[in-house]
Amino acid sequence: ELKVEQNPLFLSMQEGKNYTIYCNYSTTSDRLYWYRQDPGKSLESLFVLLSNGAVKQEGRLMASLDTKARLSTLHITAAVHDLSATYFCAVEYGNKLVFGAGTILRVKS
Amino acid sequence: EPEVTQTPSHQVTQMGQEVILRCVPISNHLYFYWYRQILGQKVEFLVSFYNNEISEKSEIFDDQFSVERPDGSNFTLKIRSTKLEDSAMYFCASTPKGTVKQFFGPGTRLTVL
C-alpha cells in the first residue's frame, strides 16, 4: 500500500524567508500533485508533476519531482502572509490520489 | 470556468439516519470520485466511478456507503445508518478523459449528532 509522508507538518516562517516542504512516497508513481487548502475550503490545485525531473513554478512557489528518489519538493521563495494555508501533496496510485498529511504553513510578518 | 458543485454545503443529521450527498461534476468529465477529510486530518480516498460502475474503492467504503449516477449530471454518495465517526468534509472530484488532473468541489460538511 502506498504511503505518502510530508514534512514538516507545521511550518512557521517569517515573511521574506525561503523554505522547502518535502513529500516522500513509498511506491513507484510518475504523477504527483500539490494542493493548497484554506481553512474550511476545498482543495485548490497548484501543480501537476507528470514525469521525472519535472519542475513547475507559479509566483513564489516552485515544485519539483524526482521519481527515482520518490521525492517531491515545494519550495517557497520570499514568503508572504497570503501563502498561509495547508499544503498537501498527493500521489496518483491506480484510480485514486493518496494524500500526505499536509503541511500547515503560517507566515508571520 | 466550469466547476464541480456540491450540495448541501453543510448537513446535520442524527446518528442512524441516512444521508445523500450530491455532486454535479463538470459536464464533459468521465471519471468521478469521492474523498473525505475528517477535521484536521488528511484527505482520504473513498471511491472512484467510471462508465456507471465503481472502478476502485477503499477499505473505508464498506456496505454503509453507495454511489450512484442517477441521471446525466448528478453523482451521489449515500451513507446509510450514519455514525458519529462519519462526521467529516466530503469532497467530490471529477476528471475528463485524457488528463489526470482531478477537479475538486467545495465539499459538504457532514455533522452526525
Q: Per-residue pLDDT tens for B34-48?
A: 999 998 888 999 999
According to the model, what pLDDT value does residue B37 have? 94
- Substitution target in A4, A32, A41, A43 with the highest count of B β-carbons within 10 Å is A43
The CB density around residue B24, as the number of other CB atoms within 10 Å, is: 16
Task: Report whether the peptide linkage leading into residue B70 is cis, meaning its omega lies within 30 degrees of zero.
Answer: no
Q: Per-residue pLDDT tens for B46-91?
A: 999 998 899 999 999 999 999 999 887 899 999 999 999 999 999 9
- Tally A–B CB contacts below 8 A: 48
Q: Per-residue pLDDT tens for A4-15?
A: 999 999 999 999
Greater confidence (A77 vs B70) lies with: A77
Cross-chain Cβ contact A96/B42 below 8 Å: no
What residues of A are in contact with residue B102 (Cβ under 8 Å)?
33, 45, 97
Q: Per-residue pLDDT tens for A40-75?
A: 888 999 999 988 888 999 999 999 999 999 999 999
Residue B69: all three cell numbers together: 449516477
B42 in reach of chain A (CB within 8 A): yes
Query: What is the SS3 string spanning chain A?
Result: CCCEEEECCEEEEECCCCEEEEEEECCCCCCEEEEEECCCCCEEEEEEECCCCCEEEECCEEEEEECCCCEEEEEECCCCHHHCEEEEEEEEECCEEEECCCEEEEEEC
Average predicted confidence (pLDDT) for chain B: 93
